[in-house]
Amino acid sequence: MIEYEAVIGLEVHVELSTESKIFCACPTAFGGAPNTHVCAICSGMPGTLPALNREVLRYAIRAGLATNCEITRDGKFDRKNYFYPDLPKAYQISQLYLPVCRNGRIEIGEGKNKKTIGIHEMHIEEDAGKLVHDPEGNCTLVDYNRCGIPLIEIVSKPDFRSADEVTDYLERLKTTLQYIGVSDCKMQEGSMRADINLSVRPVGREELGTRTEMKNMASLKAISRAIEAETKRQISRISAGKPIKQQTRRWDDDKGVSFSMRSKEDAHDYKYFPEPDLLPLRVSDGMIEEIRREIPELREARRARYIKELGLPEYDADILTSSFPLVRIFERTAGICGNAKEASNWIMTDLLKLLKDEQVAPEDMHFPEDSLGKIIRMTSEGVINRSVGRRVLTELFGSDTDPITYVKDNGLAMVSDQSVIETAVDRAIRENEKAVADYLCGNPKSLQFLIGQAMRHLRGKGDPQSVQKILFEHLEKRR
């Protein structure tokens, strides 16, 4: 039986997180009521002209440098022409002939599975709007808010052979881009999406098979499933002697199958030509060096530092550096509570569990960056005890409420008033004669039980040390 392998290439679109759009001053913020982040330029009014936001070029170069690309010194923009209602000018300003970056690479895999994935090129372009179906009017409406959000398209070489390699690459690409602050890479919000080119060939053959393309994939799981299904589909067709048609397919993740959208014959002729409204891009050595200096410590270096300088366990350092949102929240939390290990512990045990339970990716987390630090500080300062701290974290996760205010407003601060604790201890002793007797007979477990009872009367807010001390004194008096 012939053994086949998949040959996969990726085109990844990433929205850059510049403040304003690529050719106008509109904000890039996600969401907003339809057509509120829109001006004459990004809605394609007659007479408007694009003016390049220079930050976009800097971001793209930063992305290129972080993925080992060569930076093009004389780039330019081209028009890609096609009609669609989400594209108000009916052409997209992109780069065909002289993309901003070329010939980069990203390492994937570990140990002996290490492998280099080549980056063919990276080019700058503008995003299009979104079509929204209006069930009430039974018509389609257009929202131009996303029009003109800067994108980089990162085109890999066809170096992947499996879905695992693809997801590994995407994870690393995402981490790198988040680290260097050029994109939040939120797949859920569409700020990172991938087109998959896939063909199969008998193992050992040089020449490539006919490829199909699946566009706009926006979740790692779907990408993985789509690759596996498409590989199987192509192999079974070839095995059955049927040809593979060069076509664009749409992956339906719910049904787990892909459908043909259009074939090569009706592929677009985009009629590219140089954009006459924009000047060529000139990138100097000085500019490249300046941008190189802005690139922050990347994952490997940061991981090593966490282990060596902060004394974190390797496993913890590995997890914490796996995504930049975690790095940010870790460093912020450690900064506020003044204890890196404690910050790491809370994130590793409590925060990650919450993320997992709620099925939220770290970059999609909605939680003020200083909240966790404040909670930990309150526990170490004895304002609340640890279990109340956990409760506060769980209750506030996903909200903007300030933990200090929350603790105050809900009366969660620890009770350290002697007389209040004594009342609770008295009650615990009075209501649990048997446990008291057991304790006095030498059963230490009973002490824990009685502490629990006293804490219950204090509604969990008692300072554990005071409670234990007072209980102990009261019990000893009975001897």
| Cα three-residue angle 76-48-142, rounded to 5 degrees | 95
Nearer to Zn ion, 39 or 404 (CB): 39
Q: How far is C-alpha 142 from the geometric centre of its chain's CA atoms?
A: 27
The entry of Zn ion, another protein, none that residue 91 binds, CB within 5 to 8 Å by partner kind:
another protein
Contact mark string toward Zn ion, 231..250, x via CB under 5 A: --------------------
Min dist CB 238 to another protein, Å, is 30
- The DSSP H or E segment spanning 247 is strand 247-252
- Looking up tokens 């509570």 gives 337
Q: Does 141 bind another protein (CB under 8 A)?
A: no
**Residues 383, 415: contact at Cβ < 8 Å?**
no
Q: Under rule CB under 8 A, how many of the chain's residues touch another protein?
A: 28
Rounded CA gap, 174 and 193, in Å? 11
**Residues 415, 385: contact at Cβ < 8 Å?**
no
Rounded CA gap, 254 and 13, in Å? 23
Min dist CB 99 to another protein, Å, is 18
Nearer to Zn ion, 24 or 365 (CB): 24
Min dist CB 131 to another protein, Å, is 10
Site for Zn ion in 40-79 (CB under 5 A): 41-42
- Report residue 267: phi and psi, to 5°: -70, 150
Min dist CB 144 to another protein, Å, is 8
- Residue of 5, 11, 30, 39 that binds Zn ion (CB under 5 A): 39
The identity of residue 472, as a single letter, is F
- Residue of 5, 11, 30, 44 that binds another protein (CB under 8 A): 44
Site for another protein in 2-41 (CB under 8 A): 40
Rounded CA gap, 337 and 359, in Å? 27
Q: Does 142 bind Zn ion (CB under 5 A)?
A: no
Site for another protein in 277-306 (CB under 8 A): 277-279
DSSP, residue by residue, 280-293: PEE--HHHHHHHHH
The entry of Zn ion, another protein, none that residue 142 binds, CB within 5 to 8 Å by partner kind:
another protein
Collapse the DSSP code of 98 into the 3-class scheme (helix H, G, I; strand E, B; otherwise coil) and give the result: coil
**Side by side, which strands form the sheet with 91-94?**
91-94, 78-81, 273-274
Rounded CA gap, 17 and 12, in Å? 16
Min dist CB 63 to another protein, Å, is 23
25 contacts: CB under 8 Å, gap ≥ 6: 39
Min dist CB 274 to another protein, Å, is 8
Nearer to another protein, 44 or 382 (CB): 44
Min dist CB 399 to another protein, Å, is 39
- Residue of 2, 19, 29, 51 that binds another protein (CB under 8 A): 51
The entry of another protein, Zn ion, none that residue 40 binds, CB within 5 to 8 Å by partner kind:
another protein
Q: Under rule CB under 5 A, how many of the chain's residues touch Zn ion?
A: 5
Contact mark string toward Zn ion, 3..32, x via CB under 5 A: ---------------------x-x------
Min dist CB 128 to another protein, Å, is 13
13 contacts: CB under 8 Å, gap ≥ 6: 127, 151, 152, 153, 192, 193, 194, 195
Rounded CA gap, 301 and 314, in Å? 13
Nearer to another protein, 70 or 277 (CB): 277
Quote the radius of gyration of the chain (alpha carbons, Å). 29
Min dist CB 23 to Zn ion, Å, is 8
Nearer to another protein, 94 or 385 (CB): 94
Collapse the DSSP code of 120 into the 3-class scheme (helix H, G, I; strand E, B; otherwise coil) and give the result: strand
Q: Does 246 bind another protein (CB under 8 A)?
A: no
CA distances to 183, 195, 377 from 191, rounded to whole Å, are 8, 13, 35
The entry of Zn ion, another protein, none that residue 49 binds, CB within 5 to 8 Å by partner kind:
another protein
Nearer to Zn ion, 23 or 324 (CB): 23
Nearer to another protein, 52 or 257 (CB): 52
DSSP, residue by residue, 149-160: -EEEEEEEPS-B
351 contacts: CB under 8 Å, gap ≥ 6: 329, 372, 393
Nearer to Zn ion, 127 or 316 (CB): 127
The entry of Zn ion, another protein, none that residue 137 binds, CB within 5 to 8 Å by partner kind:
none
Site for another protein in 69-108 (CB under 8 A): 79, 81, 83, 85, 88-91
Collapse the DSSP code of 274 into the 3-class scheme (helix H, G, I; strand E, B; otherwise coil) and give the result: strand
Nearer to Zn ion, 22 or 414 (CB): 22
Tally Cβ neighbours within 10 Å of residue 257: 15
Nearer to another protein, 38 or 414 (CB): 38
The entry of another protein, Zn ion, none that residue 267 binds, CB within 5 to 8 Å by partner kind:
none
Q: How far is C-alpha 416 from the geometric centre of its chain's CA atoms?
A: 42
Can you give the binding site for Zn ion, defined by CB under 5 A?
24, 26, 39, 41-42
